[in-house]
Amino acid sequence: MPAGRYAPSPSGDLHLGNLRTALLAWLAAHAEDRQLLLRYEDLDAGRTVAGSAERQRADLESLGITFGGDVLRQSQRQDIYDDAVAELRSRGLVYECFCTRREIQEAARAPHAPPGAYPGTCRTLSEQDRARRREQRPPALRLRVPDWQREQSVEDRLLGRVDGVVDDLVLIRNDGTAAYNLAVVVDDHLTGVDQVLRGDDLASSAPRQAYLRELLYGAQARSAVEYIHVPLVLSPEGRRLAKRDGAVTLAQLRERGIGPDAVRDLLLDSLGLPPGSLGHASEAFRLEDLPCDPWTFQESALPQL
């Protein structure tokens, strides 16, 4: 069955920006008879907070956001990611990289490369050099991207064409854990996700993920994905909303006497949709009518008790 997905990191409670994106993912999926899957992107153990995954799901369900299929946890899928890298490696598309983050930042880059792009330092190391470097630190594994394939693009239903430069992105970090871009691509494909709705701050990652999906699963798999990058929620100062910006999580709002139904209706109003329930709102939902500008959250918009 075709699917959309919502994929939070279990690093704490969801705030209004996260919840609004999840709500949109549910609306967009149900508008076109997709199920919505829930996936926890918990590969970074240092950021995972015990109990937050359960609290996140409870918060989402309290707004009426329901999920189909099994809940995925990326931390339980390393063997699957390793198999994908082995396939790429068998085609000569993987190499070891020993660079530190600081070395990458300080290295000279091509004029067209985005900030932080990998300059290819370890691409042509000899086997002798690699053996020597392995004694100093374990390698990460990078994708070898031919120069003629570095410029990639995808079509986004809200943003139109999104262009990007694909560098030799990390597939496996030097601690042996799958990197974000690899895990996202593998999970989306293997779980039938053909609609990727997320915040527009992630739009720049879409070209490299589409390219990697084509390498692993073919051009048809790449073209099957629909991208929808939605506007963020901003603080009154114009920053991306964060937990420092006042009462922005359901738990904080409950302490002020504001329940999930009121929060749901506030988020629906920010999208120009009628209140009452997600089912009612879905009848009026049209992606083409989605506001294109970020929504600035003001505490004065909260129900006054």
Question: Which strands, in side-by-side order, build the sheet including 140-143?
Answer: 94-97, 140-143, 170-172
What are residue 160's DSSP bridge partners?
Answer: 156
Mean pLDDT to the nearest integer, 31-43: 96
Among 209, 205, 175, residue whose Cα is nearest residue 43:
175
Could you tell me if 216 and 94 lie in one domain? yes
Same domain, yes or no: 214 and 277 = no
Model pTM? 0.93
Q: How far apart are CA 9 and CA 48, in angstroms?
A: 7
Nearest C-alpha neighbor of 43 from the set 140, 177, 174: 177
Instruction: List, for residues 151-205, the tens digit of each pLDDT value.
Output: 999 999 999 999 999 999 999 999 999 999 999 999 999 999 999 999 999 999 9
280 falls within a domain: yes
For the cut 80, the answer to whether the pLDDT of residue 301 exceeds it is no
Q: Is there a domain that residue 158 lies in?
A: yes
Residues 104 and 162 grouped into a single domain: yes
From the list 34, 32, 39, 25, the residue with the least C-alpha distance to 2 is 34
State how many domains the chain has: 2
> Which tens digits make up the pLDDT trace of 120-140?
889 999 999 999 999 999 999
**Domain coverage including residue 214:** 78-192+203-230
Nearest by Cα to 166 from 184, 185, 147, 180: 147
> Same domain for 24 and 90?
no
Shared-domain flag, residues 38 and 130: no
User: Does 56 reside within a domain?
Assistant: yes
Q: What is the CATH number of the domain that holds 218?
A: 3.40.50.620
Q: What is the DSSP letter of 203?
A: G
According to DSSP, the residues that pair with 125 across neighbouring strands are none
Let me know if residue 198 belongs to a domain: no
Average pLDDT over residues 14-38: 96
The predicted pLDDT at position 61 comes to 97
Q: How far apart are CA 256 and CA 250, in angstroms?
A: 10
Shared-domain flag, residues 104 and 53: no
Query: Residue 225: inside a domain, yes or no?
Result: yes
Residue 197 covered by a domain: no
Kindly state whether residues 32 and 131 are assigned to the same domain.
Answer: no
Question: Is the domain of 25 the same as that of 122?
Answer: no
At 217, list the tokens. 């699963």
> In what helix (H) or strand (E) does residue 195 lie, and over which residues does it extend?
strand 193-199
> 289 lies in a domain?
yes
Are both 23 and 157 inside the same structural domain? no
Residues 188 and 46 in one domain: no
| Claim to verify: residue 208 and residue 142 sit in the same structural domain | yes
Q: Do both 90 and 215 map to the same domain? A: yes
